[in-house]
Chain A
Amino acid sequence: MSNKFWYLTKQSLRKKIKSKWFIGVNIMLALVIIALININSIIAFFGGDFNEKTRILVVDKTDISFDVFKQSIKEVTKEDDDENLVVKASDKTEKQLKKDLKDNEVAIVFDNDEENFVTAKVISKEKIDSSTYQYISQGLNSTKTSVALVKTNTDPILLAKISSPMTTERIVLNDKKSVDENMEMVMGSLFPTLILPFFMLIIFLVQMIGGEICEEKTTKSMEIIISNVSPKVHLLSKVIASNLFIIIQGLLLVLYSVIGILISTKGHLSIDPNVDSLLTATVESGFLDKIITLLPAILIMMLLSFLAYSLIAGILAAMTTNMEDFNQIQTPIMLVLLAGYYLAIMAGMFDGSVLIRILSYVPFISCLVSPSLYIIGQISMIDVIISIIVLIITILVMVKYGLRVYKVGILNYSNEKIWSRFAKALKSKDV
């Protein structure tokens, strides 16, 4: 029986890996991942530039605004590590500037004003992107203040003190939530990216195991298979094969990412400044520390979740008699998964809510919600362990009652509604 089990597992895995679907999807995934990592080079190749610098050409009729403005821009962009704004003085007239202005240039004309000390015209060929405009606005406001102080003969030492950035010290009183505001950026940008492959792999898993069982049922080959191996062995072989398959798929995603990074850095592991700033924020926020602490728990939870999803997909697929049935049973699984994904991304919005804490224990979504809540400091490691225990209990219950449904379901071709068949199989004594 053990030989038949391994043969079925091997056969199922080989069938998935050799399928045109798998090859096609992986070619697409490899291209998309590598392209996304190298998007700067691709845009540059087609004449664009992600890192294109915006030149701010300043015509200063006040004689004192340019230096102040340049300094202000330097200060505001420094906070965000944005080095794409270059401020330069221009000796052209406003008319000439308007005539010669390029796409990546913004002209600012400072002029004296009796009432408001200084006014500015911001001239560009196209719309300015919102972040650049925000920097310019901040710079202009700051310039106005400084010019006003100079024009009102404020002491230069005092003026320097007024113009210098605020000295701030950041203190978080709640030690348990020792997370700074960088975490919001990390949770908003990095975390969804990290859990997206996991989300995708579960979708693959559900479709793979369900589709295969459904195919064996609809072609009636199930009767022949089940007459030679027990339903338990059959289901187990499908579960193992599907889980091995998505682990392979997961490793392939990592491989495509590494290839993408190597291409992007041309073999040298130097890091793009944008990525570098995100990594810095990630390290500073404590995200990496949390992830590393949580890694064993995350891995256990991921594997258990794969197991749980494959079991439920297999059990439900056993009740199907055609592909429409299978699509019908897939929908609730997908909705639960989607709910988990969004809850994980929006976890920060439920600060202190008991509901989100309870949801982090719910099997099938705990794998997504728990790590997210732990990282933002809303739950502790104990809660994560409780989620794992709940998941293990769920799997055991599914094995006990699910096998009953599976054994009855795989040979049931009645025209009854699928959920009614499911309920009957659950009550069936024919096991």
Chain B
Amino acid sequence: MLQVKNIVKYYGDNKAVDNLSFEVKDGEIFGLLGENGAGKTTTFRIIMGLLEATDGVVLLDGHHIDYSITDKIGFVTEERSLLTKMTVKEQIVFYGILKGMKEKEIEKELKKWLKDFQIESYENRKIKELSKGNQQKIQFISAVIHHPKLLILDEPFTGLDPINVELMKKAIYKLQKEGCSIIFSSHQMEHIENFCEKLIILVKGKPVVDGYVKDIKKEYKKKNILIRGDDLPLKELEKIKGVISVTKQKDEYEVKVEEEKIAPKIFQKIKNYNITKYDVTEPTLNEIFIAKVGEVHE
């Protein structure tokens, strides 16, 4: 289990991380979100032991993070961290040995992973000759070859097509089943919604949203009502107090309301029309992210 307790990090006078705390249990996937420059990379670097926090502690299975424990951590960086002149095998062996593995063990594991990602023939190809998607797969393999106890994934799906995204998702779930704690960071909120049970949204190093995804959505008052029907009184709907906006989306309308109790009033207005759909939905994580980050900037 990873425990991040009240970490603070200053760069000169600039506070990059402000009293951040969270826990990632074994086999849990945790989302760490934030706009660019919110402090995610600094947090990852502190967790990896690359930077020392100005204050606070980070514990992995109860131990402070140092070079005796970093072998248990895997990290997929946002930008590819591969030595492109090496072959796939050389690269994985290089990182594997730095993680304390033996060369034979690495080669055995590599074969399995290459098979899972359907790129067995690339074992002796130079990394620079591979496509971006395949390089991303190699980067992922290099981070998990040693079966880490903690895996940090910073934009892991970059450059992958939908088929390969599914392959990688499978791999991530496999590691989750093995009990690996996973921290997931992405700007693609649908991935976060799919993967993470818990998340934190950072703004200027400070957590502004923190908790289980379902609770965050529930607690977020604004709701969306999706309506499909003919000749709907859109002007009248817009006039109802508590309605934020009415927008057309393909063959239906999305009515954003400030709170759930506005929904019956909407229904009253349209019940006599020919409606084929009326659905009150939770807001998307993307909406919550934009709203929360926006609030702080305002």
- Which residues in window 1-51 of A have CB below 8 A to B? 1, 4, 7-8, 11
User: Given the interface contacts A219-B84, A411-B50, A430-B51, does A225 sit within 8 Å of B79 by beta carbon?
Assistant: no
Comparing B95-103, B162-170, B184-192, B193-201, the segment that makes contact with chain A is B95-103
Q: Is the CB of A223 within 8 A of B81?
A: yes
Are B73 and A224 in contact, CB atoms less than 8 angstroms apart? no
Q: Does B289 contact A (CB under 8 A)?
A: no
Tell me if B94 counts as interface (CB < 8 A to partner A): yes
Contact B45 A221 (CB under 8 A): no
Are B94 and A11 in contact, CB atoms less than 8 angstroms apart? yes
Which of A53-61, A226-234, A346-354, A368-376 has 4 or more CB atoms under 8 Å from chain B?
A226-234
Q: Say whether chain B's binding surface is mostly helix, strand, loop, or mixed.
A: loop
User: Given the complex, which residues of B lie within 8 Å of A7, measured CB to CB?
Assistant: 97-98
Chain B 75-103 near chain A by CB (<8 Å), digits 1 or 0: 10101111110000000001101111000
Known contacts A4-B97, A227-B70; A411/B83 CB under 8 A:
no
Contact of B83 among A8, A215, A223 (CB under 8 A): A215
Chain B: CB-nearest residue to A224: B81
In the complex, whether A176 has a CB less than 8 A from a CB of chain B is: no
Beta-carbon contact of B80 and A220 below 8 Å: yes
Q: Are B67 and A224 in contact (CB under 8 A)?
A: no
A223-263 vs B, CB cutoff 8 Å, 1 = contact: the mask equals 11111111000000000000000000000000000000000
- Chain B contacts of A222 at CB under 8 A? 81
Q: Determine if B254 is an interface residue (Cβ-Cβ < 8 Å).
A: no
- Find the residue from B49, B67, B73, B82 having the highest chain A CB count within 10 A: B67
- The chain A residue with its CB closest to the CB of B91 is A221
Q: Tell whether, in the assembled complex, residue B99 and residue A228 are in contact, meaning their CB atoms are under 8 Å apart.
A: yes
B98 x A224 contact (CB < 8 A): yes
Q: B98 to A229, Cβ gap below 8 A?
A: yes
Highest count of chain A CB atoms <10 Å: which of B50, B73, B100: B50
Residue of B at shortest CB range from A411? B50
Q: Which of B48, B83, B97, B99 contacts A221 (CB 8 A)?
A: B83
Per the bound structure, the CA–CA distance linking A1 and B77 in Å amounts to 23
Chain B 259-284: CB-based contact to A (< 8 A → 1; otherwise 0): 00000000000000000000000000
**Chain A neighbourhood of B80, CB < 8 A:** 219-220
A216 on the interface (CB 8 Å rule)?
A: yes
A37 to chain B, nearest CB (A): 35
Q: How far, in whole Å, are A80 and B109 apart by their CA atoms in the complex?
A: 74
Establish whether residues A219 and B82, one from each chain, have CB atoms under 8 Å apart when the complex forms. yes
Residues of B within 8 A of A224 (CB): 75, 77, 81, 95, 98, 142-143
Given contacts A224-B142, A230-B67, contact A411 B45 (CB under 8 A): yes
Distance in Å: Cβ of A17 to nearest Cβ of chain B? 14
- Residues B84 and A225 in contact, CB atoms below 8 Å apart: no
Q: Is B28's CB within 8 Å of the partner chain A? A: no
> Which residue of chain B is the closest to A229 with respect to CB atoms?
B98
- Docked Cα-Cα span, A225 to B48, in Å, equals 11
The answer to whether A430 touches B52, judged by C-beta atoms less than 8 angstroms apart, is yes
Instruction: Report Cα–Cα, A230/B52, bound state, in Å.
Output: 13
Majority SS of interface residues in chain A?
helix
User: Chain B contacts of A4 at CB under 8 A?
Assistant: 97-98, 100
Q: Give the CA-CA distance A70 to B286 in the complex, in Å.
A: 104
B51 touches A227 (CB 8 A): no
A430 to chain B: which residues have CB within 8 Å? Answer: 51-52
CA distance A25 to B98 in the complex (A): 31
Contact with A along B128-162 (1 / 0, CB 8 A): 00000000000000110000000000000000000
Chain A residues near B84 (CB, 8 Å)?
219
CB pair A223 B50 closer than 8 Å: yes
B73 (CB) vs chain A CBs: closest residue: A227
Q: Are A225 and B82 in contact (CB under 8 A)?
A: no
| List of A residues within 8 angstroms of B50 by Cβ | 223, 226-227, 411
Chain B residue nearest to A220 (CB atoms) is: B81
Per the bound structure, the CA–CA distance linking A266 and B80 in Å amounts to 55
Query: Which interface residue of A8, A11, A223 has the most chain B CB atoms within 10 A?
Result: A223
Q: Which of B71, B77, B82, B83 contacts A228 (CB 8 A)?
A: B71
Q: Given the complex of chains A and B, what is the CA–CA distance between A368 and B292 in angstroms?
A: 64
Point out the residues of chain A lying under 8 angstroms from B48, CB to CB: 223, 227
Measured between alpha carbons, how far is A225 from B96 in the docked complex, in Å? 11
- For the complex formed, measure the closest distance between the CB of A293 and the CB atoms of chain B, giving whole angstroms: 46
| Contact B77 A220, beta carbon cutoff 8 Å | yes
Partner of A227, one of B49, B52, B79: B49
Say how far A416's CB is from chain B's closest CB, in angstroms.
12
B77 touches A225 (CB 8 A): no
Q: What are the residues of chain A within 8 A of B77 when measuring CB–CB?
A: 220, 223-224
For the complex, give the distance between the alpha carbons of A19 and B25 in Å. Answer: 45
Bound form: Cα–Cα A227–B79 in Å:
16
Q: Which has the most chain B C-beta neighbours within 10 Å: A1, A4, A222, A230?
A: A4
For B75, the chain A residues whose CB sits under 8 A away are 223-224, 227
The residues of B that contact A221 with a CB separation of less than 8 Å are 81-83
Verify A219–B83 contact, CB threshold 8 A.
yes
Other-chain residue from A8, A11, A215, A228 in contact with B67 (beta carbon distance below 8 A): A228
**Bound state CA distance, A411 and B81, in angstroms?**
13
- CB pair A216–B83 under 8 Å, yes or no, is yes
Report whether B98 and A228 are in contact in the complex, using a CB–CB cutoff of 8 Å. Answer: yes
Identity of the chain A residue whose Cβ is nearest the Cβ of B127 in the assembled complex: A219
Residues of B within 8 A of A223 (CB): 45, 48, 50, 75, 77, 81
Chain B residues whose CB sits within 8 angstroms of the CB of A230 once the complex forms: 67
| Centre residue among A223, A228, A430 by max chain B CB count within 10 A | A228
Least CB distance from B125 to A in Å reads 17
Q: How far is the CA of A224 from the CA of B84 in the complex (A)?
A: 14
From B49, B73, B98, give the contact of A225 (CB < 8 A): B98
The CA of A390 and the CA of B100, in the complex, are separated in Å by 40
Residues facing A in B58-76 (CB within 8 A) are 67, 70-71, 73, 75
Interface residues, chain B, with chain A CB atoms under 8 Å away: 45, 48-52, 67, 70-71, 73, 75, 77, 79-84, 94-95, 97-100, 142-143
- With A1-B67, A11-B94, A430-B52 known, 17 other A-B pairs at CB within 8 A are A7-B97, A215-B83, A219-B81, A219-B82, A219-B83, A221-B82, A221-B83, A223-B81, A224-B75, A225-B98, A227-B49, A227-B70, A228-B67, A228-B70, A228-B71, A230-B67, A411-B50
Return the 4 tightest CB-CB contacts between A and B, nearest first.
A228-B98, A220-B81, A221-B81, A227-B48
5 residue pairs A–B, Cβ–Cβ below 8 Å: A4-B98, A220-B79, A223-B50, A229-B67, A411-B51
